[in-house]
Structure 1
Amino acid sequence: MSKEAKQEHPLPKLAVVIMAAGKGTRLKSRRPKVLHEVGGKPLLSHVIGTAARLAENSDIYAIIGHEAERVRAAMASTGVQFIEQKEQRGTGHAIQCAREAIAGYEHILVLSGDVPLITADTLQHLMTLHLAEGAAMTILTATPEDPAGYGRVIRRSPDRSDVDAIVEQKALKGEQHSIREINSGIYAFKVAPLLKYLDKLSNDNSHREFYLTDMAAHLHTGGEKVAALKAEEAVEVLGANTIAELVALDANLRMATARRLMAGGVTIFRPETCVIDAEVEVEPDTIIEPFVQLLGKTRIGAECRIRSYSVIENCTLGADVVVLQSCVLTESVVSDSARIGPFARIRPGSEIGQEAHVGNFVETKKAKLGKGAKANHLTYIGDAEVGAGSNIGAGVITCNYDGVHKHLTRIGQKVFVGSDSTLVAPIEIGDGAYIGAGSCITRDVPSGALAVGRSRQVVKEGWAVARHAAMEKMKSTS
């Protein structure tokens, strides 16, 4: 939501109450329902983030119950306040548990912890209508293609916002079966009438639970105004009761992220094949090929190309970076105009410098490569610093681990390390030094020096001929 929209329709301080106590039995999972992930983060994290964007000066409460401590720990960094519903006896009972917390507010907004696609704009429109109508309760509704399983909203007339009641599907009668407008489970309430009628909720139903939906009828009967706002996109109010529904939400959210990036000038070929988390940011003129995964809080600069089957997680890439096929990058930084891959693995803590090359089957870990440094083939660089312009040959290994501790290898600028060399840390190679191919280097090498750490070659003429003859004789006598 834009800052202009917030300034045009500023909201009063309110309490946002998120229903997050349910078990999610139909998911058939030991994980709490609201901790199942879509778009790269838990369902509840999406809802908390939207609530925070909607009302920056308001308080957010999560009503937790099933696996309460696990949910509390997972959401501890969000700053949300927790209310525990020790017995899960329905949505009405959840608000009864929150009675003391909400009593000091004039209005509250009730959200569902398993509805991750709801937008701050839609909630802003809901609250704006709620305040303009002076309603005691305002219901967010939708008209999905298939309303089966949802409670229906009974309006006083089709062209008015006034609502008489919410009727669960199994209680529909006569013409009510033709109603397609559903209750989303998202509401705005004026707190005083809510608390006045809260204890009138009954559990006289098949599940013996107290339903917040019944509040619409109680308020209407009591002469209070109950209004409704229909969401423009029904997908915003969809929740997840099964793994299949969860996966569908994930697909919707990721496609929305892809559309957002493409609207900003990013080319994504076959976006339906890509996995792009909700918090990923990509600058214009970057090209993302099919079957790429961009995860976590990855940031990619302008005019990059990410080729197929690469996985990039919590990384920052500069401009004009090329990541070739089937690379894995994790928690690292890649500077402008660097080239990675194909089949390279950039492990956490790596910093790949400007115009540096990390080639096929090269692995880095906590490694810093300076500007223009190259490691093009079959190399492991761990706990190492490689200076600008240095060249690391094929098969080079920095031996960083002694079985107890990790040690640092320092390689200066414009160093040439010959193929199949091992550098036993801790060790330092000075600027401009050369390491002969096949060397095992165990001592520091001064700047400008040549180091060769291999045994002298021995050639025994005729040895192989004699060996073959002896072997043939042994075979013939056996």
Structure 2
Amino acid sequence: MDTKFARTPLSCIVLAAGKGTRMKSDTPKVLHRLAGRAMLDHVLDLCGTLEAQRTVVVVGHGGEAVAQAAAAHPVAAETAVQEPQLGTAHAVGKAEPLVKGAAGDVLVLYADTPLITAQSIEDMRVQRAAGASVVVLGFRPDDPGAYGRLILDGEGRLDRIVEAKDANADELAVDLCNSGVMLVDGAKVWDLVDRVGNANAKGEFYLTDIVGIAREQGLSCAVVEADETEVLGVNSRVELAEAEGILQERLCRRAMEEGATMLDPASVHLSWDTQIGRDVVIGPNVVFGPGVVIEDHVEIRAFCHLEGARVASGATVGPFARLRPGAEIGVDAHIGNFVEIKKARIEEGAKVNHLSYIGDARVGARANIGAGTITCNYDGFTKSHTDIGAGAFIGSDTLLIAPVAIADGAYTGSGTVVTKDVPRDALAVSRPDLKIIDGWAARHRARKQQRKKAG
């Protein structure tokens, strides 16, 4: 592969001005999330991967929120406003003051088409390096339907783009369709865009017209084909769910290719930034929210939910466990069924195996937390810390009233309410002495039965 394109400067224009009425949402369409991140952010990630020297997002509906999201992304995209919306060429033209004069090529992307891969764009850049002034990303759908058709000449070069409603029978028989994504020679793009007219039924300026204009000027145009799943445009909640499914399949496949085992990958949900190590085993119906890191040799059992958590090598989690933001699970630690961990560090070899809540806490190495234990960290106004030392044994149904510390090697008796610090190797017990009353149960039943008969 020719790698000259990798050294060619690139500017990206991301069109994000659509109203998104079919989403039926108060949220701008491009801010709806896939794998825990806005569609716009996925497209801006692509711009970052391509090392674009300049990125401009063209906004319209919900422009302020979209502009804020663009500025917050690591690529720190600039924004241009398209108001009113008069077509794709009109939208690209709004970015001209911010892009014109930059060296290299101009790539036009769409914020509602978030699944395009860097490899497809690299293939387009190869075609640019080979001399094509305009390169269009095409695809072959199962049903070409209303998509614009890409018509090639006898030498396989792109001759024109024909909208389905304007196509004749022969053109409608073509299954190579237009995604809308274009890569254009930066030295020619603004002249081509400025020549686009609006003599059409909608009175709009269509970017697709630059192919015909370029050919009239004797310029070469080319097509690069992508898989249909890459160019899915999201215009409704149904299409959003379809895109989510495609992205989840990609993310799970990548995790498995990098050494993880998924017992039922179709039921696992990953976030865009989930990090999973080698020889990790993930059971069915596990959900990873943003900010999760799983190191090597970890087992995540079925029906767990993790977000903002780190799990160290050799640990086991679940089934039915929840790790909330700030959870740090140490090497070889055990987090069991129906256990919730929040903003707490569970150190090496510690066990929290059953029906417990550990929040705003530290559990020392090799400590054991009995079933039903709760760190009572919130008093209605503030949250306080619980510290449990190494080798401590917390009996079942213990309530730890924070702030409180259990020193190394200390024990608490089952059912204890701990309201003050427990010294090293001590035992804390707060339950009353057991009292046994002989014969009470039989007398109690007799009284109840007598009263019931008396009516």
Contact 2:330 2:347 in 1 (8 A): yes
Stretches of structure 1 lacking an aligned partner (at least 5 in a row):
274-290
- Give the alignment of 1:293-308 within 5 angstroms: 293-308=269-284
- Give the alignment of 1:216-227 within 5 angstroms: 216-221=211-216, 223-227=217-221
Deviates more, 1:250-259 or 1:79-88: 250-259
Distance 1:19 1:311 in 2: 32
Contact 1:162 1:225 in 2 (8 A): no
Distance 2:260 2:453 in 1: 72
Residue 202 in structure 1 maps to residue 179 in structure 2: no
Match of 2:31 among 28, 35, 40: 35
- Assess, with a 3 A threshold, how the Cα gap between structure 1 residues 397 and 176 changes in structure 2: closer, same or farther: closer
- Assess, with a 3 A threshold, how the Cα gap between structure 1 residues 319 and 474 changes in structure 2: closer, same or farther: same
Contact 1:333 1:352 in 2 (8 A): yes
Q: Shift of residue 405 of structure 1?
A: 1.3
Distance 2:424 2:391 in 1: 10
SS at match of 1:405: coil
Distance 1:476 1:197 in 2: 99
Deviates more, 1:441-450 or 1:106-115: 106-115
Residue 153 in structure 1 maps to residue 150 in structure 2: yes
- Assess, with a 3 A threshold, how the Cα gap between structure 1 residues 270 and 75 changes in structure 2: closer, same or farther: same
Could you tell me which residue of structure 2 aligns to residue 53 of structure 1? Answer: 49
- Give the alignment of 1:309-328 within 5 angstroms: 309-313=285-289, 314-328=291-305
AA at the equivalent of 2:83: K
Match of 2:17 among 21, 46, 56: 21
AA at the equivalent of 1:156: D
Match of 1:350 among 308, 319, 327: 327
Contact 1:350 1:364 in 2 (8 A): yes
Runs of 4 or more above 6 Å deviation: none
AA at the equivalent of 2:8: P
- For residues 84-126 of structure 1, give each alpha carbon's deviation from its aligned partner in whole angstroms, at most 9, with x where no partner exists: 1121110111122122122203431212222222222221221
Deviates more, 1:240-249 or 1:71-80: 240-249
Quick one: higher RCO (CA 8 Å, sep 6+), 1 or 2? 2
Could you tell me which residue of structure 2 aligns to residue 278 of structure 1? Answer: none
Contact 1:136 1:224 in 2 (8 A): no
Distance 2:251 2:447 in 1: 71
Residue 243 in structure 1 maps to residue 229 in structure 2: no
- Give the alignment of 1:46-445 within 5 angstroms: 46-54=42-50, 56=51, 58-78=53-73, 79-106=76-103, 107-133=105-131, 135-157=132-154, 159-163=155-159, 165-221=160-216, 223-271=217-265, 273=266, 291-313=267-289, 314-445=291-422
Distance 1:14 1:325 in 2: 45
- For residues 244-270 of structure 1, give each alpha carbon's deviation from its aligned partner in whole angstroms, at most 9, with x where no partner exists: 333333322322333333333433344
Could you tell me which residue of structure 2 aligns to residue 474 of structure 1? Answer: 451
SS at match of 2:341: strand
Q: Shift of residue 418 of structure 1?
A: 1.7
Q: Shift of residue 192 of structure 1?
A: 4.3
SS at match of 2:6: coil
Deviates more, 1:65-74 or 1:9-18: 9-18
Sequence identity percentage: 39
TM-score, scaled to structure 1: 0.87
Distance 1:343 1:140 in 2: 44
Could you tell me which residue of structure 2 aligns to residue 284 of structure 1? Answer: none
Distance 2:397 2:328 in 1: 23
Q: Shift of residue 392 of structure 1?
A: 1.6
- Assess, with a 3 A threshold, how the Cα gap between structure 1 residues 332 and 94 changes in structure 2: closer, same or farther: same
Q: Shift of residue 67 of structure 1?
A: 0.8
AA at the equivalent of 2:125: M
- Assess, with a 3 A threshold, how the Cα gap between structure 1 residues 330 and 6 changes in structure 2: closer, same or farther: farther
Distance 2:94 2:15 in 1: 11
- Assess, with a 3 A threshold, how the Cα gap between structure 1 residues 113 and 456 changes in structure 2: closer, same or farther: same
Stretches of structure 2 lacking an aligned partner (at least 5 in a row):
none
Distance 2:106 2:205 in 1: 19
Q: Shift of residue 197 of structure 1?
A: 4.3
Distance 1:426 1:262 in 2: 43
Distance 1:360 1:436 in 2: 22
- For residues 160-192 of structure 1, give each alpha carbon's deviation from its aligned partner in whole angstroms, at most 9, with x where no partner exists: 3252x3221111135333322222212222344
Distance 2:188 2:262 in 1: 50
Distance 2:175 2:270 in 1: 38
Q: Shift of residue 419 of structure 1?
A: 1.7
- For residues 413-459 of structure 1, give each alpha carbon's deviation from its aligned partner in whole angstroms, at most 9, with x where no partner exists: 11122222222221111211222222222121111222221222333
Number of residue pairs the alignment of both structures matches:
451
AA at the equivalent of 1:50: L
TM-score, scaled to structure 2: 0.91
Contact 2:5 2:129 in 1 (8 A): no
Distance 2:412 2:283 in 1: 34
SS at match of 2:241: helix
Q: Shift of residue 17 of structure 1?
A: 0.9
- Assess, with a 3 A threshold, how the Cα gap between structure 1 residues 434 and 27 changes in structure 2: closer, same or farther: closer
RMSD (CA atoms): 2.3
Deviates more, 1:311-320 or 1:76-85: 311-320
- For residues 34-72 of structure 1, give each alpha carbon's deviation from its aligned partner in whole angstroms, at most 9, with x where no partner exists: 223334432222222222222x15211111111111212
- For residues 319-342 of structure 1, give each alpha carbon's deviation from its aligned partner in whole angstroms, at most 9, with x where no partner exists: 222222222222112222122222
Distance 1:349 1:146 in 2: 47
